[in-house]
């Protein structure tokens, strides 16, 4: 933990947006350096222009590769293009517009020439492709829409990001992103000068470029997925903090549209994020699940004079609003796993229009409390690798009612059991907290206490351990028989998993379980570390033993 974690950013912590944007245009990436190539992680290509990892050449090449991919798949409908508030997002958005217009793509850009949350892009793609109609969503055939969101999510201000959503509206699968990245790197090597472009002013005036009111379409449709009337009638006092991100203009409109007692706690947008408090490592990071990054909102909810909290529910979102943070007067910032369990329990008991056999989706590093809640509800559990893309098929056809990740990302079905978004929706989950309070009369924190009284209290944590590029590759390719240990923290090991139980997909690492605990280890896609997630239902001391032995188990496997 950095000594200044949770304290206000100082001038020396801030980026120079001009320098970051200048580097975007002026620096040419070294295509022989793996760190400067196009690489798609679980949420697109990310990097900084200052490091030669996110520059104009990358976006020209990646956009051109997406154009080729669309043609190869017969995708000829509109492409919805959104961006967040990072300094590099607008330059990259402009570059993409130039390439897409030159290729004759039917382009849809924000009607307000402003920021667009990731869930609003997913929503527009799905509505164009049939969501909310009797015919259902089409993901094959002519006229299909897809999209691009220019965002590095919660990453620091110096970073940029670029992600592609196919016609299913969710994050592209690894087969798609692998093809796009490989083709983009080929274009980088041959030279991006050969890629056709038109000046952005001409591109925006082209017949193929049209305005799309992402905000109105999304906000007006919220009543079909949430009980907005209940929230308004209960008078829930809501404090919404966009953390300087793409939801900044959405929250005020949501409050007006539905007559909510809603205050935008901090409407400021600043590409330096000078108003943020530093995250655990001393960096500015818009992580709404981090107590350090959310320290300002927590202080609002816990007045220094000991007076009452000004809001019944306070929420945060990251820069592209695909993640949520929930703050209650009685519980502070909720652990994402705790809130996911509460949301699941509430939704599956208050959505009579959902399919009776709709499953509960979780990533394999999410809390086992969710497993126990699912069993108590009598609902099937779909446990998948890390990556929201694994929930897309089930959300599309209604066989998964809720899909959630431990990193505070989730989405769920409309009240009639049809698809809402197939990408994470932080605005949706933030509003759900107010619906829960309005309908049950109890805060999500109080409901979590009731859950642990019923199913047991767990201790959960994630730690990072150093690993070379070669070690990370070996971890991703581990086989169960390489784990020689038979016990974990005094309990017999019940499973050694390298594939997810829900869909048989490779988890890119290892998960080891016992009756009382589990750990999972997987390599980081951006840093020279591997991540160890662990949970114990036998207390914090037992969790510490699990973590220590997990490191030993993984290190031994990496040496063999």
Is it the case that residue 325 has pLDDT exceeding 90? yes
**At which of 157, 187, 213 does a domain end?**
213
What pLDDT, on a 0 to 100 scale, did the predictor assign at position 238? 98
Residues in CB range of 424: below 8 A, 6 or more apart: 118, 119, 322, 323, 388, 405, 409, 410, 411
Domain limits for position 164: 15-213
- Active site residue ranges: 153
pLDDT confidence tier of residue 460, bands split at 50, 70 and 90: very high
pLDDT of residue 222: 98
Q: Would residue 525 count as lying in a domain?
A: yes
Strands 381-384 and 209-212: unpaired
Overall number of domains in the chain? 2
Residue 155's contacts (CB-CB under 8 Å, 6 or more residues apart) are 46, 86, 161, 285, 286, 319
pLDDT surpasses 70 at 400 = yes
Residue 110 resides in a domain: yes
Q: Where are the beta strands (DSSP E) in 345-490?
A: 359-363, 381-384, 400-405, 409-412, 459-466, 487-488
Q: pLDDT tens for residues 225-270? A: 999 999 999 999 999 999 999 999 999 999 999 999 999 999 999 9
Instruction: Identify whether 340 is part of a domain.
Output: no
Higher pLDDT, 135 or 21: 21
CATH of the domain at 84: 3.40.120.10
Mean pLDDT, range 495-499, rounded to an integer: 94
Strands (E), 227-339: 237-241, 261-264, 313-317, 324-328, 332-333
- Could you tell me if residue 142 is inside a domain? yes
Indicate the residue among 166, 191, 213 that finishes a domain. Answer: 213
Please check the confidence at residue 135 and state whether its pLDDT lies above 80: no
Cα separation of 412 and 344, whole Å?
9
Residue 259 located in a structural domain: no
Which of residues 193, 213, 233 is at a domain's end?
213
Q: Give percent of the chain with pLDDT exceeding 70.
A: 99
417 assigned to some structural domain: no
> Crossing angle, helix 426-440 and helix 444-455, to 10 degrees?
80
Q: What is the token pair recorded at 265?
A: 């706690």
Cβ–Cβ under 8 Å, residues 170 and 422 = yes
Among 35-39, 312-316, 398-402, 481-485, name the one with the lowest average pLDDT. Answer: 481-485
Q: What's the pLDDT score for residue 471?
A: 85
Residue 93 lies in a domain: yes
Mean pLDDT estimate for the chain: 95
pLDDT at residue 558, rounded to an integer: 77
> Is 560's pLDDT higher than 70?
no
Does residue 28 form part of some domain?
yes
Q: What is the pLDDT of residue 526?
A: 62
How much is the pLDDT for 133? 77
Q: 315 pLDDT band (50/70/90 cuts)?
A: very high
pLDDT at residue 381 is higher than 90 = yes
CATH of the domain at 524: 3.30.310.50
Q: Is it the case that residue 554 has pLDDT exceeding 90?
A: no
Candidate from 287-296, 333-342, 421-430, 526-535 with smallest mean pLDDT: 526-535
The 3 state secondary structure assigned to 12-50 is HHCCCHHHHHHHHHHCCCCCCCHHHCCCEECCEEEEEHH
152-179: per-residue pLDDT in tens? Answer: 999 999 999 999 999 999 999 999 999 9
């Amino acid at each position: 933990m950095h000594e200044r974690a949770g304290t206000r950013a100082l001038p020396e912590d801030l980026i120079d947006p001009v320098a970051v944007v200048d580097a975007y245009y002026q620096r040419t990436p070294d295509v022989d350096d793996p760190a400067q190539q196009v690489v798609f992680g679980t949420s697109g290509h990310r990097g900084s222009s200052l490091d030669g990892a996110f520059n104009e050449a990358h976006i020209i090449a990646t956009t051109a590769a997406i154009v080729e991919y669309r043609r190869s798949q017969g995708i000829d409908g509109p492409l919805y293009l959104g961006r967040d508030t990072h300094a590099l997002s607008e330059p990259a958005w402009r570059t993409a517009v130039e390439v897409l217009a030159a290729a004759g793509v039917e382009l849809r850009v924000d009607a307000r020439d402003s920021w667009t949350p990731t869930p609003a892009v997913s929503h527009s793609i799905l509505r164009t492709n049939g969501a909310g109609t009797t015919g259902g969503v089409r993901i094959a055939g002519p006229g299909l829409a897809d999209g691009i969101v220019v965002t590095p999510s919660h990453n620091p201000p110096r970073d940029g990001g670029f992600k592609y959503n196919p016609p299913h509206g969710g994050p592209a699968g690894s087969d798609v992103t692998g093809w796009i990245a490989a083709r983009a790197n080929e274009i980088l090597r041959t030279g991006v000068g050969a890629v056709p472009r038109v000046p952005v002013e001409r591109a925006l005036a082209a017949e193929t470029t049209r305005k799309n009111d992402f905000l109105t379409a999304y906000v007006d449709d919220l009543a079909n997925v949430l009980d907005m009337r209940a929230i308004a009638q209960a008078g829930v006092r809501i404090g919404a903090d966009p953390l300087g991100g793409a939801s900044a203009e959405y929250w005020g409109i949501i409050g007006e549209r539905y007559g909510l007692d809603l205050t935008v706690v901090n409407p400021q947008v600043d590409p330096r994020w000078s108003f943020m408090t530093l995250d655990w490592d001393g960096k500015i990071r818009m992580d709404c699940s981090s107590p350090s990054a959310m320290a300002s909102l927590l202080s609002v909810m816990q007045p220094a004079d000991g007076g009452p909290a000004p809001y019944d529910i306070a929420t945060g979102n990251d820069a592209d609003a695909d993640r949520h943070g929930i703050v209650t007067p009685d519980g502070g910032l909720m652990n994402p796993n705790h809130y996911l369990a509460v949301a699941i329990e509430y939704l599956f008991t208050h959505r009579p229009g959902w399919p009776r056999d709709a499953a509960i989706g979780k990533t394999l590093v999410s809390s086992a409390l969710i497993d126990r809640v699912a069993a108590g509800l009598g609902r099937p559990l779909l446990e998948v690798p890390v990556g929201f893309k694994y929930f897309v098929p089930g959300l599309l056809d209604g066989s998964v009612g809720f899909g959630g990740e431990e990193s505070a990302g989730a989405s769920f079905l409309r009240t009639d059991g049809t698809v809402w978004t197939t990408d994470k929706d932080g605005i949706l989950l933030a509003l759900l907290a107010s619906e829960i309070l309005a309908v049950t009369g109890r805060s999500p924190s109080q409901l979590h206490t009731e859950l642990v009284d019923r199913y047991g209290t767990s201790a959960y944590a994630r730690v990072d351990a150093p690993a070379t590029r070669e070690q990370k590759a070996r971890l991703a390719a581990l086989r169960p028989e390489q784990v020689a240990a038979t016990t974990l923290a005094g309990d017999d090991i019940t499973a050694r998993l390298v594939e997810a139980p829900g869909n048989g997909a490779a988890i890119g690492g290892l998960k080891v379980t016992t009756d009382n605990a589990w750990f999972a280890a997987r390599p980081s896609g951006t840093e020279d570390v591997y991540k160890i997630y662990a949970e114990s239902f036998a207390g914090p001391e037992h969790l510490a033993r699990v973590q220590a032995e997990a490191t030993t188990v993984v290190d031994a496997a990496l040496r063999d």
